[in-house]
Amino acid sequence: MQQDAMQQQPVHAGTIETTYREAVREAIRDAIKRDSRVFLMGEDVGRYGGCYAVSKGLLAEFGPERIRDTPLSESGFTGAGIGAAMAGMRPIVEVMTVNFSMLALDQILNNAATIRHMSGNQFGVPLVIRMATGAGRQLAAQHSHSLEGWYAHIPGIKVLAPATLEDARGMLWTALQDPDPVLIFENVMLYNMTGKLAADAGAVDIDKAAVRRAGRDISLITYGGSLWKTLEAASSLAADGIEAEVIDLRSLRPLDDATIMASVAKTRRAVIVDEGWRSGSLAAEIGMRIVEQAFWSLDAPLGRVCSEEVPIPYPRHLENAAIPQAPKIVAAAKAALGRL
């Protein structure tokens, strides 16, 4: 996969050809070098080099204090990350995938998210938790979840979904400097994505959505791994004379209502693309916000493209049918325009 679709930077000596994975690695390196409070902790992040090879080479560079392998104790080491953050460190806890994060859910929800409010602002938890997420590698039901929407439901934490090289490189630093817990979701299908990145790319904001493609006929609102499928769908639609505006949410909690509503006010139609299961999805939340804030602009019913309500199956054709794909997004957009 290539990021060229929305590449706006000219190729010059100041850009490098890199991958999403390498961008994340560079973000971690940069943070550890610049801030002595930062360290990475998780399963197989050290000797193994990271399940997705994100932290390859970092143990040799920074040593076992800053790159800590943990036993398979998600609750234990996530809670430890919370305690360490409360006592002055800035840990990056890596939960191998969102699928295993359930074991740490109690620590995330009952400690990280609540401590500031519950203690009357005496203690805060400046922790970053990174997790791989999403389906598409035929890993079957227990390894293919997209639970960003669940986490985005919880007050007290922030939830990010970097979908581009710039965001993979730049969100981590800002998240580490945040005084509150930040969860960063990296879609597994994006790690191999190649593209160009400014050589001096650095920290970016973590609370604004981005318009990745301008258009006037319909707003396609999405995040994470689905961004690229949505851009692909937008190209298809353009061939049919439909100009779609594509919005990359980037931050799932808080949601950038202003950008979303400005787009819908302009196009009057919206389809939300969300790899979570349909019922009670983040797409449902966004749809409701649009109805609350932009009802009088709407010229068509809202649509959404989500995962089918099944545990994600193993064979490729079934997995593909279960999760959002570009043709489904095209169809949903055309339905909204009455152009089926």
Partner 1 sequence: MAEFRMPSLGADMDAGTLVQWLVKPGDGVKHGDIIAVVETQKGAIEIETFQTGKIEKFLVDVGTKVPVGTPLALIRTEGEAKPAAAAPPPLAAAAPRPIPAPPPRVAAPAPPMVPGEAAVAASPAARKLAQERGIDLSAMTGSGPGGAITYADVERRLAAAGVAPTAPAERKPGAWLDLAAMRTAIAAAMARSKREIPHYYLEHQVDVTGCEQWLAQKNAALPPDSRLLIGALALKAVALACRRYPAFNGFYRDNKFEPSPAVHVGVAISIRGGGLAAPALHDADQLLLDELMRRMRDLVARTRAGRIRGSEIADPTITVSSLGERGVEALYGIIYPPQVAIVGLGKVVQRPWVIDGAIGPRSVVTLTLSGDHRVSDGHAGALFLAEIGKLLQEPDKL
Partner 2 sequence: MTLAADKPHLSRAHMLDLLQRMIRIRRFEEKCYELYTQEKIRGFMHLYDGEEAVAAGVIPVLEQRDRIVATYREHGHALVRGVPMTKVMAEMYGRQEGCSRGRGGSMHLFDAATNFYGGNAIVGGGLPLAVGLALADQMQRNDLVTACFFGDGAVAEGEFHESLNLAVLWELPVLFVCENNLYAMGTALARAQSETDIQKKAACYRLASEAVDGMDVIAVEAAARRALHAVRESGKPYFLECRTYRLRAHSMFDAQLYRDKAEIDAWRHKEPIARFRAWLEVNHMIHPDDLSRMEAAIDAEIAEAVTFAEAGTWEPVEQLTRFTYAETSIPAGR
Provide the annotated active-site residues.
74, 143
Cis (ω within 30 of 0) for the bond into 254? Answer: yes
C-alpha–C-alpha distance, residues 141 and 119, integer Å: 38
The conformation of residue 311, written as its DSSP 8-state character, comes to: P
Question: Rounded distance, CA 313 to CA 72, Å?
Answer: 26
Q: How far is the CB of 114 from partner 1 (least distance, A)?
A: 18
Residue 297 contacts partner 2 per CB under 8 A = no
The tokens describing 233, both together, are: 């769908």
Contact 132, 51 (CB under 8 A): yes
- List the x/- string, 116-145, binding to partner 1 by CB under 8 A: ------------------------------
Residues in the chain: 340
Regarding 78 and contact with partner 2 (CB under 8 A), the answer is: yes
Which residues of the chain form beta strands (DSSP E)?
Answer: 15-19, 38-42, 67-69, 90-97, 128-133, 158-160, 182-187, 194-198, 210-213, 218-222, 244-248, 251-253, 270-277, 303-307
Torsion angles phi and psi, residue 17, rounded to 5: -90, 125
Map the footprint of partner 2 across residues 163-202, applying CB under 8 A: 170, 173-174, 177-180, 202
Residue in 18, 55, 101, 111 binding partner 2, rule: CB under 8 A: 111
The answer to whether 10 contacts partner 2 (rule: CB under 8 A) is no
Of the residues 63, 299, 310, 327, which one makes contact with partner 1 according to CB under 8 A: 299
Rounded CA-CA distance 297/318 in Å is 38
Task: Note whether 233 and 252 are within 8 A (CB).
Answer: no
Closest separation in Å from C-beta 44 to partner 2: 15
Identity of the residue, 47 or 295, whose beta carbon is nearer to partner 1 in the bound complex? 295
Closest CB to partner 1 among 198 and 265? 265
| C-beta closer to partner 1: residue 213 or 268 | 268
DSSP, collapsed to helix, strand or coil, labels residue 132 as strand
Please report, as residue ranges, which positions from 21 to 50 form the binding site for partner 2 (by CB under 8 A): 39
Say which entry of partner 2, partner 1, none residue 235 contacts (CB below 5 to 8 A, set by partner kind).
none
Residue 338 as a binder of partner 1 (CB under 8 A): the answer is yes
Other residues' Cβ atoms within 10 Å of the Cβ of residue 158: 21
Number of residues that bind partner 2 (CB under 8 A): 51
The whole-angstrom distance between residue 276's C-alpha and the CA centroid of its chain comes to 12
**Strands 244-248 and 210-213: what pairing?**
antiparallel
From partner 2, partner 1, none, which one binds at residue 299 (CB under 5 to 8 Å depending on kind)? partner 1
Q: Which residues bind partner 2 (CB under 8 A)?
A: 39, 65, 70-71, 73, 75-89, 103, 106-107, 110-111, 115-124, 155-156, 158, 170, 173-174, 177-180, 202-207
Q: Which residues bind partner 1 (CB under 8 A)?
A: 268, 292-293, 295-301, 338
